[in-house]
Structure 1
Amino acid sequence: MTEQPKPEQVSDPLRQVLDWPVPHAAAAVLSRAGVLAEVGDTSMRFPLASVTKPLAALAALVAVEEGAIELDRPVLEYAPDRLGEELAAELGSMTLRHLLAHASGLAPDRRRRGADVGVRRIYSNVGYDLVGELVADATGIAFDDYLHEAVFSPLRMRTAVLEGSPAFACTASVADLEILIGELLTPGGLLHADTLADARSVQFPGILGVLPGYGGQRPNDWGLGFEIRGLKDPHWTSPRNSPATYGHFGRSGTMFWIDPQAGLGLVALADKGFGPWAIKAWPRLSEAVLDSYS
C-alpha cells in the first residue's frame, strides 16, 4: 500500500498566499494520492459566491441519476409554469443540460430571453435558480436540503451549507473543498464515471460568450456546472494549465481547479472580492503549483 503524503506546513508555492492583500485566505494542493500542502485556516468558512454553481450542478446530476429529472428533456414538458407564457414561446426547447452549461438562452440576472437556446454562452444566475426549482419540484425536497443530502452529507463536507440561491449562496471551508476535489480526482461513487466524464466535457462546443471578469471568449467552453479552460485568454488559471482543466471561481475571492493532465487540484478561498489582486494572484499561484508538483 502506498503511503499517503503528509501535507507540508506551508509549501513554497503556497507561501505566496500569505502575502495576498486580503483579510483572510486559505489554500490547498491535492493530487490523486491526497492533500499535498495547505496554508491558512482550512476549517474557516468562506462565502463561495459562484463556486456554489458546480456544487449545485453535482446535486442536479445526482437527481438525474436517481431518475427524478432528465438532463435532455425540455423543461417546458415537465415544468411549464416555471417558464411562463412568454419564455415558454421563446425558449421552449431549453433543457437541464442547457441550464447547467449556461447555454439556455436566459439572460444573466432576469428571467427573460437573452439569446436563442444553445447558440450563445450567457452566464446566468437565474438559470441556476431555475435548476434549483426544477430539482426541488422533481424530488419534493427543498433544494438546500437536497444539496446537503445528495452531496455534502455523503462526501462528509461538514461545514458546507447553502443558504439561498443555488447560483451563489453557499459557504464552505477549504477542508470541505479538499474533499470535493479528492472525489473529482479519484471518484468514490458520488456519481457514475460516465456522468462525471460528461460534466467535465465541453457542452455545445464552439459557442461564444463572455467569461465574467475576463471578457469575450471564442469559444467559451463550459461543462455541466464546471467552467473548462480550453484555450481561453485571458484566464484566471495559468497558461500552463492544460485545456482540460475545469473548475470555477467566485466574485467573493474564491476559486478551485482540477487539471486532469497534471493530476492536481488547487483550491484557494479568500474574503476579499474578486478584482485586480485576484487577476494577478490566481494565475501566479496556479503556475507555481504546477511547477512544484507536476
Structure 2
Amino acid sequence: MDVLSEIEDWPVDNAVSVVVDGQGAIAGQHGDTDRPYALASVTKLLSTYAFLIALEEGAIGLEDPAGPEGSTVHHLLAHTAGYDFDSEVIRFEVGAKRGYSNCGFEKLAEHLERETEISCADYAQEAVFAPLRMNSTKIAGSCAKDGWSTAADLARFAAELLTPTLVSPQTMADATRVHFEGLAGILPGYGRQNPNDWGLGFEIRSTKNPHWTGASHPAKTFGHFGQSGTFLWVDPVDRLACVTLTDRNFGPWAAETWAGYNERVLKAYSA
C-alpha cells in the first residue's frame, strides 16, 4: 500500500497528497488533485516567489525601508521586523528575534504595490501563476493567508522550487539559506524554537524539534504549513517535494500526524 493512502485515515473530510521528484514529475499522488483548497499561510510561498522575482527585476530592493522604523524588505521577508503575528503592534526591536507575522507580509505587499503600482495578487498572477500554468490558483485578499489552489497547481509550483526557472539558481539558493542566524522565536503550533531559522519567506527545518516534517528530513528542507491544514515541503538534498492539502484546520490532529507521515513519505520516495 502506498504511504500516501494514509491520508484516508486522517480526521478530515477531504485530503490530497502529491509527491514531486527531482525531474519535476509526479512520483505519487492520492486524492483529487483538481479540488481547490484554502491555503492559509502556504500562501506565503506563492507571495515569496513573487517578491523574489520583483527583487531580481529590480522592482524592489532587499534593503528598501519597509515596515517599522529601521526595518527593511529583508527584515520583513525573514520575519524579524518586530510585528505581532496578525496586527501592526510592535512586539520587539527590529532584528532582535524571529517574530512570525502575517502583518509583515502584508507590509511587503504594500511596498511592492507602491513601487510597481501592481497589487501583490496581480504581480503573482502575472509573474508566477501564468508562466507555471497554475490556472486554478489565486490570492483573494491577504498575500499572507488568502490563497486558494489545487494540488495539481502546487505540484507544478513545487517542481519550480526544486528546479527554478523564473528566478536564478543563485536567488533560490540565497532565499533558502538561513537569514539573521541564531534568532529564537515561536513556530506557530509547535512552540518556541531556538534557533527558529527562516530564509527569505521560506521556513527552514534546520534543527527544529518538534516540527511538522520528519525527523530524517535534511536540515536544508524548506517550505511552509498553513492553519487551514495544508503544507508544502521541498527537500533539496533528496530532490523531493510533497504537497498535502486538507479541509480541516491545523490542530492537535495535525501536530500528531504530519511528522510521522512526512517521515514515511521521505523514506518511501527517496529509496
Shorter-chain TM range is over 0.9
Aligned: 1:219 with 2:215: no
Aligned partner of 2:50 among 59, 68, 74: 59
Aligned partner of 2:124 among 129, 142, 147: 147
Deviation string 1:17-74 (CA, Å, 9 cap, x unpaired) is: 1111101000101111211000000011100000001111111111111111101222
Question: What residue is the counterpart of 1:92 in the other structure?
Answer: 69
Aligned: 1:252 with 2:242: no
TM-score, structure 1 as length reference: 0.89
Aligned: 1:38 with 2:29: yes
Q: Which runs of 4+ in 1 moved over 3 A?
A: none
Question: What residue is the counterpart of 1:18 in the other structure?
Answer: 8
Question: What residue is the counterpart of 1:264 in the other structure?
Answer: 240
TM-score, structure 2 as length reference: 0.97
Aligned amino acid, residue 179 of structure 1 = R
Tell me how far apart the structure 1 counterparts of residues 261 and 2 of structure 2 sit (CA, whole Å): 10
Tell me how far apart the structure 2 counterparts of residues 246 and 284 of structure 1 sit (CA, whole Å): 17
Question: What residue is the counterpart of 1:197 in the other structure?
Answer: 173
Question: What residue is the counterpart of 2:216 in the other structure?
Answer: 240
What aligned pairs does 1:158-173 form with structure 2 within 5 A after superposition? 158-173=135-150
CA drift of 1:276 comes to 1.5
SS at match of 1:258: strand
CA drift of 1:142 comes to 1.8
Question: What residue is the counterpart of 2:65 in the other structure?
Answer: 74
Q: Indicate the larger mover: 231-240 or 100-109.
A: 100-109
Aligned amino acid, residue 70 of structure 2 = S
Aligned: 1:134 with 2:125: no
Tell me how far apart the structure 2 counterparts of residues 186 and 192 of structure 1 sit (CA, whole Å): 9
What aligned pairs does 1:107-118 form with structure 2 within 5 A after superposition? 107-118=84-95
Tell me how far apart the structure 1 counterparts of residues 247 and 146 of structure 2 sit (CA, whole Å): 14
Tell me how far apart the structure 2 counterparts of residues 184 and 212 of structure 1 sit (CA, whole Å): 23
Aligned amino acid, residue 236 of structure 2 = P
Tell me how far apart the structure 1 counterparts of residues 257 and 27 of structure 2 sit (CA, whole Å): 20
SS at match of 1:107: coil
SS at match of 2:90: coil
CA drift of 1:140 comes to 0.8
Aligned partner of 1:29 among 9, 19, 26: 19
Question: What residue is the counterpart of 1:291 in the other structure?
Answer: 267
Tell me how far apart the structure 1 counterparts of residues 191 and 29 of structure 2 sit (CA, whole Å): 32
% identical aligned pairs = 46
Aligned amino acid, residue 260 of structure 2 = R
Give aligned pairs, total: 269
Aligned amino acid, residue 48 of structure 2 = A
Tell me how far apart the structure 1 counterparts of residues 48 and 127 of structure 2 sit (CA, whole Å): 11
Tell me how far apart the structure 1 counterparts of residues 227 and 86 of structure 2 sit (CA, whole Å): 15
Deviation string 1:119-161 (CA, Å, 9 cap, x unpaired) is: 1000111101111111111111122111101111111111000
Aligned: 1:209 with 2:200: no
Tell me how far apart the structure 2 counterparts of residues 60 and 290 of structure 1 sit (CA, whole Å): 29
CA drift of 1:239 comes to 0.6
Aligned amino acid, residue 16 of structure 1 = E
